[in-house]
A and B are shown apart, each in its own frame.
Chain A
Amino acid sequence: MMKQPGPEKVLKEQKIDEKYWDKWEREGGWRPVGWKIIEMNDGTTLNNLKPSQFMVVHRPHADFYHHSYGKVSKFFMGLLEGKLYGTKCPKCGLVYCPPRAHCFNPKCRLAETEWIELPKKGEVYSYTIMVIAWPSMAHLQPLVGVMVRVDGTNTCLPMTMRDIDPEKVNIGLKVNIHVEKQARGDLLDVYATPAEEPKPPQRTPEELKRFRDDMEKTRAWVKKTFG
C-alpha cells in the first residue's frame, strides 16, 4: 500500500536567527555597492598589448543553504553527543569513516552498511601545515592538518590537530580524537591531539631553519592581524 513520506516532524532543533540571515541575504543581493574605472594594457599575447580602459563593479552575492545529511545523519547526530560513528559492510567487513550508507566494494553490489561506534583513537596517515587556511580559521595559523585513519577503519578522515609543535607532526603518529563540546554539526567539530611523544620527520639543517622561519613569520602575521 502506498503512503506519503511527509510531513516532516522536527524532533530537536538549534534555531537560527532568521531576521539576521534574511538581512544578510538581502544585502548580498547582486546590486553594485561601488565601482572603479581603470586603465591597463590589453591584448591576446604579450607581443600585442595596447592601453585600454575598463569599468569594474563591486557586486556582493550571499547564499544560505539548508542541507540534509541524509542516511549518514547519524554521524553528525553522534557528534552532538560527543560520539564518533562509522559504518561497516556486513558482507566484506570494510569499515568507513567517513561513513557510507552503501558499501563501495565492487563485490558487495552496493550492500547497505550498519552503524558502529568507533574508538576516538587513530593514526596520522599524512599531514600538512596550513599557513593559508580558511578565512574563518586564519587566526589559528599555522594550522596542522592531518589525514587520520581512525582505529579499525579502512579510510582516512581529514581534521586539524592541536597541542603539537608543527615541526614534530609526522606520518604514523598515534592520536586521540576529540569532539568539540559545543558541536555545531559539521566535521570541523572533530580534531586530534597527539597520543604519544611525536617522532619528527627528518629535516636537513637548512630545511629546519626554513621551516622555523616560516612558522615564526606566520605567528607574527597572526599576532599583528588578530592581536
Chain B
Amino acid sequence: MAKKVGIVAGSISRFDNPRHTLQEEMCAEAVKMILDDLPDLEIGDFIKKGYACCYSYFSDILEQQQCMHWIIHDYLGLSAVPAYRVESGGATPIDAIVNAALWVRSGMFPVVLVVGWEKMNELPIQKVNEAIAIAGDTDWDFVSGFTYNAFYATLEARRMHVYGETEEDLAEVATLCHNNSLDNPYAQWPAQHGFSKITVEDVYKSRLISWPYRLYECAMTSEGASAMLLANEEMTRKLTDNPVWITGVGFGTDTMRPGDRPDNPAWKGLYPEDEKIWPKEIPRPMSPYPDLTNFGSLRVAARMAYKDAGVKNPRKEISLVEIFDPYAGVVLAGLEDFDFCKRGEGKKLLREGVIAPDGELPCQLSGALTAQGHAVGSTSVAQVVDVYWQLSNQIGKKWGAPGRQLGNPKKGFIHGHGGTGCQAGAVVLEV
C-alpha cells in the first residue's frame, strides 16, 4: 500500500461576507489557481488517468441547495470523473482531506482533488445561527433555546470553573488570532475591519454574545472556497519539486449531546493519565475525561494521526499548529487534547507566549476561524493550505508577506471538528 500522500498544490479564494460570487465560481477560482501552479496538469487527465474528486461543504440549508457538489463538479469540467461529497458538520473539510488521503493510500486513485466551500450570507444572521445549531440534536439540545454560542459558552464556563481559565485568557487568544490575520490576503477580518492591530481592551469592547464569549472570540460567518491537489508519491514527484507530505491522518468522535458526556461509560478508563487530573473540591464525574472541559474526539483524532505519522513527542516535533477554533477557548482545550501540554495547562502555553507567532509552537498563524474566517466547507482546507504554504516556503509568494514565512518549519498539525466536538479529524504534514 502506498503510504505516502503528497500535497502537490493548494489554493484559497478568500474568506469574506458577502463574497457575491456563486459557489461554483469561487470553487473555479480556487481550482484555477491550482491549474496555474501546475501547467502539466490537464483537466482531461482526471477521467483518462483515473483521478477522483472529494467535495466538502456543510449545509444544504445555508446553500438552499441539496447536492451542490453536482453543480460544482460539472462547472469545473469534470463530469464523468468519480466524485462524492463528505459532510460532517464543522469537521466536513478536515474529514474530506482525511478521506481523500485514504483514497490515495488505498492505491485506487493516483491523484485526488479536494474542493471545499460555503455560502453563509443567504439567510439573516439569526437564521444562520439556527441553521448551524440544528447540527445539534433538534429534539434535545437545540430546542432548549441554546445556540452553538451558548453550548460552547457552557463548555468554557466549565473550563473556567475546573481549570481557572479567565476572561483575559480568552481575550488574549482572540487578540493573537486577529493580529495574526493582518498580513493574510485571504482573511475576512482585515477585509472588513482594516489592517490595525487590536488589543485585549478591543476584545472587551466587542459585544457580549453568550457569557463568557464576546463577538471577537467567536468564529466569523463567511463565504469562500479552497482547494488542494493530493497525489501518491510517484505523481507528486512528477507534478512538483516542492512537495509537502500528509504523513498522518486521524479522526474521532464523541456524543452528539455534550450533556451526555460526564458519566459516559464509553470514555471511562480510556485516558487514565487525564482522569487523574481533577481538582479535589469539584465533584468527580464518572468519566472525568473529557467531561465538558475537554474534547475527547480531538484526542482520539490527534493520537491516531500522531501514531500514523510516527510522531512520538508532539510538543518537540511539531513546528506549527492550526486549531479549528469556532470559539477562543477551543484553542486552549485543543492544546491539551493534542498532547502539547497536560489538561488544564493550555492557558500556560498562551500566557508564556509559546503559541505566539515568534514562540516555540506558533498557532493560528492564518488567524483561523475568528479572523481568517469560517466558510465551513472551506475552513480546514484553507488552514491546511496555509500550513502547506509555510512548510513549502511559499508564504512570501502566496500571501505577499515574506516577513510572515517561518524559518525552516518541519512538521505541521491541523485539526478540525464539528458540533460540540461530536466529530473531529486531524492531519500531520511534513516537508
Contacts and interface: CB of A to CB of B under 8 A. Distances in A.
Interface in A151-175: 154-160, 166, 171-172
Contact of A187 (B12, B140, B157, B212): B140
A207 B260 contact: no
B400 interface: yes
Contacts of A211: 211
Report which residue of A52, A129, A214 has the largest number of chain B beta carbons within 10 angstroms of its beta carbon: A129
A47 B185 contact: yes
A155 B190 CA distance: 42
A35 B153 CA distance: 37
Interface string B291-322: 01000000000000000000000000000000
B29 interface: yes
Contact of A134 (B13, B147, B185, B208): B147
A167 to B, nearest CB: 9
A185 B325 CA distance: 35
A61 to B, nearest CB: 6
Interface residues on A, range: 35 or more
A43 B14 contact: yes
A155 B259 contact: yes
B144 A160 contact: yes
Contact of A156 (B33, B160, B204, B259): B259
A126 B154 contact: yes
A149 interface: yes
Interface stretch (B97-105, B238-246, B261-269, B351-359): B261-269
Interface residues on B, range: 35 or more
Interface in A1-53: 38, 40, 42-47, 52
Contact of A201 (B21, B30, B64, B161): B161
Contacts of B145: 130, 133-134, 137, 143, 145, 159-160, 188
A181 B270 CA distance: 44
B423 interface: no
B161 A104 contact: no
A46 B155 contact: no
B150 A145 contact: yes
A154 B263 contact: yes
B258 interface: yes
B292 A132 contact: no
Q: Please provide the 4 A-B residue pairs with the shortest distance between their CB atoms, ordered closest to farther.
A: A156-B259, A128-B153, A154-B263, A158-B144
Given A40-B18, A126-B154, 16 more contacts: A44-B29, A44-B33, A45-B185, A45-B186, A46-B190, A69-B139, A92-B265, A128-B153, A132-B126, A132-B210, A134-B130, A146-B154, A156-B262, A159-B145, A160-B145, A218-B208
Interface of A: 38, 40, 42-47, 52, 54, 56, 59, 61, 67, 69, 72, 92, 94, 98, 104-107, 125-135, 137, 143, 145-147, 149, 154-160, 166, 171-172, 186-188, 201, 207, 210-211, 214, 217-218
